[in-house]
Amino acid sequence: MAERDPELAVEASPEVLGADRSKGVTWAELMAQDSVPPPSFLREESYTYRGSEPIPVERYISEDFARLERERMWPYVWQFAAREEDLPEPGDFIVYENAGRSYLVSRQDDGSIRAMHNVCLHRGRKLRTEEGTADKFVCPFHGFAWNKDGSFNSMPCQWDFPHLSEQKLDLPDAEVARWQGYVFIREEKGGPSLEEFLAPLPDHFKRWRHEECATVMRVAKEVPANWKVVMEAFMEAWHTIVTHPQLLPFTGDSNAAYWTWGDNVNVNLVPFGVMSPHIEEGQGEQWIVDQFIRFNGRSADNYEEAARDNPMAIKVPEGVKARAALGAAMRSAYTQSTGYDHADATDAELLDALVYNVFPNFSPWGGFMPNIVYNWRTGKTPDTCIMEVRILSRIPKGQPIPRGAPLKFLRLDQKWTEAAELGILGDVFEQDMDNLPFVQEGLHVSKTGKINLGNYQEIRIRQFQDTLMKYIGGELGGWKQD
């Protein structure tokens, strides 16, 4: 354990070190007040103190460490690559690139999905650089061709390659698994199944049925910071106090719950419809609602051009809490708009940011609102990355799932606000961008070479770092020291 200043704190057991919580209403108290009894997994705390040692900055800035990630971690983990609606028809494919690899993820005639390495086996050109539809992948350089399942098709001047048998020219493939409309790939086959890797996520998400949803907005941006720096900024809510002050009137930032399960899964449960404990004096329940509908960023009307009336724009009845009033309005609105009965939906599932993370880089929001899905991919250097944001919306009962919205990509020099479809979320992300490039710069010039984490509010980051080092050390994954 890191040394502790005896003037600031006394040595304590791990249970005591992980026991401190913010003042104000707790997550457990909110669940007890919910208009509808919440499911057990939203009530049962799952927290384990993991130590207070600092994290070395080399993990964020070193090319040597990035190489270890590429060799020892990325090939052995399930990576979220696409949604089913991104490639709904036979022949549809997307290009997924991360950590020095490029894949073609292609829908087959029988509805299955295959993934193969996106590299010509002749002279190494990428076969495709953009998503599209094709029954055959023909290399634009010399015309070597492969079928959409990765099997070899043909090549010009085959007489000149007697040393290459067709059986050895199939594209190397990756393992594919699917869950609730999400498509995952794993470079090296074997290891835990996707369901085992995601546990307990599948049990929690049964209620929220993401397979009934479709991508209605999708934006990615190159960011001048390491992928872990950017991802970890979205793994805790208490930066809201300084970075997103406009959210404080309706966000219980440091009242949020932080839970972890095993090596791979954690959640940040952030209550909405309640004031931050950092606001000393509010302006009443109606004010909370007014600020919520103005700045929350998850209202369906932020993503649907045809939307006219915001169901959150309500008048709070006398003697009713803003959270309960919003929950009742959303319960009715979602039932009406989707055709699915939401009578058993809790206030938390209708309002709150139920932000899950799956190791290493997949973050789907739970609940019944339009769901945000984040993922982060490595950049060309340890100092850059790609952050992608999707919005999933539930498709009305009985209607087919439409093709997913196309990707809008923002360059390094562009702002999130240039993606108008993000609505107020673009402004929120730009507030984050006011910090993240300077975090990356600060890590490079750090005198101590270390960063420090809170015991509770940053436990998700601690779990992520612990799991990452298990892969680097060979405890998890397939890498073994010679």
β 408-410/213-223 pair status = parallel
Residue type, 183: V
Domains, in order of start, for the chain: 6-61+203-473 (3.90.380.10), 79-181 (2.102.10.10)
Q: What is the dihedral of CA 67, 71, 75, 81, to 10 degrees?
A: 10
Which residues are registered as beta bridge partners of 45? none
Q: Is the pLDDT of residue 441 over 60?
A: yes
The per-residue pLDDT for range 110-142, each reduced to its tens digit, is 999 999 999 999 999 999 999 999 999 999 999
b/e burial code for range 201-221 (CB count within 10 A of at least 16 → b)? beebbebbebebbbbbbbbbb
Q: Is 377 helix (H, G, I), strand (E, B) or coil?
A: strand
The per-residue pLDDT for range 328-367, each reduced to its tens digit, is 888 998 899 899 999 999 999 999 999 999 999 999 999 9
Residue type, 252: G
Query: 338 and 394 in contact (C-beta within 8 Å)?
Result: yes
Q: Is the pLDDT of residue 205 over 70?
A: yes
User: Mean pLDDT over all residues of the chain?
Assistant: 91
DSSP string for residues in 257-303: EEEEETTTEEEEEE-BSS--TT-SS---HHHHHHHHHHH-S--GGGT
Least confident of 67-71, 315-319, 414-418, 471-475: 315-319
Cα distance between residue 373 and residue 210, in whole Å: 11
As a whole number, mean pLDDT of residues 66-95 equals 98
Query: 453 and 470 in contact (C-beta within 8 Å)?
Result: no
The enclosing H or E element of 222 equals: strand 213-223
What lies within 8 Å, CB to CB, of 114 at 6+ separation is 105, 106, 108, 148, 149, 150, 173, 176
Give percent of the chain with pLDDT exceeding 90. 73
The per-residue pLDDT for range 285-320, each reduced to its tens digit, is 788 888 887 777 655 444 344 334 677 777 878 888
Give percent of the chain with pLDDT exceeding 70. 94
Please work out, in degrees rounded to the nearest 5, the angle formed at the alpha carbon of residue 277 by the alpha carbons of 273 and 279: 90
Q: Is the pLDDT of residue 5 over 60?
A: no
Cα distance between residue 90 and residue 36, in whole Å: 43
Asked whether the bond before 200 is cis by omega within 30 degrees of 0, the reply is yes
**354 half-sphere exposure, CB direction, 13 A CA radius:** 20
Cα distance between residue 227 and residue 232, in whole Å: 8
The per-residue pLDDT for range 150-173, each reduced to its tens digit, is 999 999 999 999 999 888 899 999
Please work out, in degrees rounded to the nearest 5, the angle formed at the alpha carbon of residue 294 by the alpha carbons of 293 and 299: 50
The per-residue pLDDT for range 456-482, each reduced to its tens digit, is 999 999 999 999 999 999 999 988 776
Q: Give me the pLDDT at residue 113, please.
A: 98
Which residues are registered as beta bridge partners of 389? 219, 374
Where do the DSSP E strands lie in 309-466? 353-358, 362-366, 371-378, 385-394, 408-410, 450-451
Please work out, in degrees rounded to the nearest 5, the angle formed at the alpha carbon of residue 285 by the alpha carbons of 269 and 353: 15
Residue 7: band (very low, low, confident or very high) from pLDDT cuts 50, 70, 90: very low
Q: Is the pLDDT of residue 253 over 90?
A: no
Cα distance between residue 472 and residue 482, in whole Å: 14
Comparing C-alpha atoms, which of 191, 194, 144 is closest to residue 171?
Answer: 144
Measured CA distances, 105 to 86, 89, 150, 249 (Å): 10, 12, 10, 44
Cα distance between residue 153 and residue 398, in whole Å: 40
